[in-house]
Amino acid sequence: MGTSQYPLFVGDHVNSWLQKIGCTDAMWELAKQYDSLVIGRIITQHKVLYKVATEANECMAEVSGKFRHNAGSASQFPVVGDFVLMDRDNDEHGNAIIHHVLERKSAFSRKMVGCEFDSQMIAANIDVLFLCMSLNNDFNIRRLERYIAVAWDSGAIPVVVLTKSDLSDNLDGLLEEVQNVAIGLDVVITSSKEEDGLQSIQKYIKSGVTIAFVGSSGVGKSTIINRLLGGESIATQALRNDDKGKHTTTHRELFLLPEGGAVIDTPGMRELGLDFADLSKTFTDIEELALHCKFKDCTHQHEPHCAVRKAIEDGILSEDHLLGYQKLQKEVAYRGLKSRQIEKRKVENMFSGFGGIKNAKKFIKSKNKDW
């Protein structure tokens, strides 16, 4: 049994530190249904073992045999940020046993590598998700679109954090690119050497709120978190010679912030396979333009009277932004389908803008007459 890094508040749960790091009244009420179990929050995960913080202690825990047997997928197992119910709050006589994972109010996940149908849970119960991208050679606007889409689907509020502004010689140009895709989102600019942007991040922090940082390795997530924690709790490394970051964080971990609230650090993720994604909020500009297309199922490729193509021709919308949208659309649409189903879906999509293959043939025939 270890001593908790968190202060202990005695009395009603309203004054407890668990509430300060996000435990809601609804969670407390649900926990009351299990008189013999103790509520805690997962702060680190090591394969099948978890470090859990309760009101009094930090202890190691594992899921029960019944839990393991009944779990339908890997995503149902506890992850960092989860609130769980255990048989005890210490590991003096062996690991505590986790019997239940309380319902998640948000969940950040990605498609599992090498697995066609399951997803990998990254962290749970996040209120604000900071999407970090450095303003050096690692800058990739298409990757940011992907991050925004997944963030919206997670249930958390996404905020774009542009790091290492001191290394950019085209700050205004890159910022304009970001604002064109991060529609309606707050954008924070930080420097690797100064406190720039830190106050803008701190405004999201308060008691009961959980924030998390995601982004590629070496973009500066750990540096920002260390500043928020007021120390060097997380190891950081210098840039490689190619201006790309070195991988430092190797696991997810939850920390208590001095002002109250919690922060979750995550390993670098250069590639983020889509599990599910909310494209309607990420590509609001395209979807609003699409409402004015002649065909409701317009693919914005070759159909007549396409409002999206017209916007591109007029310089209002970029071709790359549309291509990014279409790529993510396909990835989400083909999620979980077998190869034959994917081919069938591709054929259907090819002619969807005309209302089906029959209408497409009519359109081609009419064009041939004109030619």
120 or 188: which carries more pLDDT confidence? Answer: 188
The pLDDT tens digits for 74-88 are 889 999 999 999 999
Determine the pLDDT at residue 237.
Answer: 38
Average pLDDT, the chain: 78
Rounded Cα distance between 78 and 83, Å, is 8
What pTM does this model have?
0.71
Determine the pLDDT at residue 146.
Answer: 85
Q: What is the fold of 2-101?
A: OB fold (Dihydrolipoamide Acetyltransferase, E2P) (2.40.50)
Determine the pLDDT at residue 70.
Answer: 94
SS3 (DSSP) at 202 = helix
Determine the pLDDT at residue 235.
Answer: 46
DSSP-assigned letters across all residues of 49-110:
EEEEE-SSEEEEEEE-HHHHHH--SGGGS--TT-EEEES-S--BTB-EEEEEEPPPS-EEEE
Rounded Cα distance between 30 and 231, Å, is 36
pLDDT band (50, 70, 90) for residue 258:
confident
Taking 50 as the threshold, does the pLDDT of residue 323 lie above it? yes
Determine the pLDDT at residue 367.
Answer: 52
Taking 80 as the threshold, does the pLDDT of residue 251 lie above it? no
pLDDT band (50, 70, 90) for residue 158:
very high
Determine the pLDDT at residue 234.
Answer: 55
| Residue 345 φ then ψ, to 5° | -65, -35
Determine the pLDDT at residue 346.
Answer: 45
Lowest mean pLDDT across 290-304, 335-349, 354-368: 335-349
Region 33-57 average pLDDT: 91
Taking 80 as the threshold, does the pLDDT of residue 196 lie above it? no
Dihedral sign, Cα of residue 276, residue 277, residue 279, residue 283? negative
Region 302-328 average pLDDT: 85
One-letter amino acid of 54: T
Task: Answer yes or no: CATH 3.40.50.300 is held by domain 112-265.
Answer: yes
Residue with tokens 């048989």: 87
Extract the tokens encoding 39. 């509520």
Identical fold, 2-101 and 112-265: no
What is the domain partition of the chain in residue ranges? 2-101, 112-265, 283-370
Q: Which of 239, 261, 133, 236 is nearest to 190 (CA)?
A: 133
70 or 238: which carries more pLDDT confidence? Answer: 70
Taking 60 as the threshold, does the pLDDT of residue 278 lie above it? yes
Rounded Cα distance between 283 and 185, Å, is 12
Region 61-78 average pLDDT: 93
Burial class (CB in 10 A: 0-12, 13-18, 19+), 263: buried
225 or 15: which carries more pLDDT confidence? Answer: 225
Q: Are 319 and 261 in contact (CB under 8 A)?
A: no
Taking 90 as the threshold, does the pLDDT of residue 91 lie above it? yes
Determine the pLDDT at residue 359.
Answer: 57
Burial class (CB in 10 A: 0-12, 13-18, 19+), 307: middle
Determine the pLDDT at residue 345.
Answer: 46
CB atoms near residue 138 (< 10 Å): 23
Strands 210-215 and 262-265: parallel
Taking 60 as the threshold, does the pLDDT of residue 354 lie above it? no
319 or 175: which carries more pLDDT confidence? Answer: 175
Taking 90 as the threshold, does the pLDDT of residue 106 lie above it? yes
Region 171-176 average pLDDT: 92
88 or 280: which carries more pLDDT confidence? Answer: 88
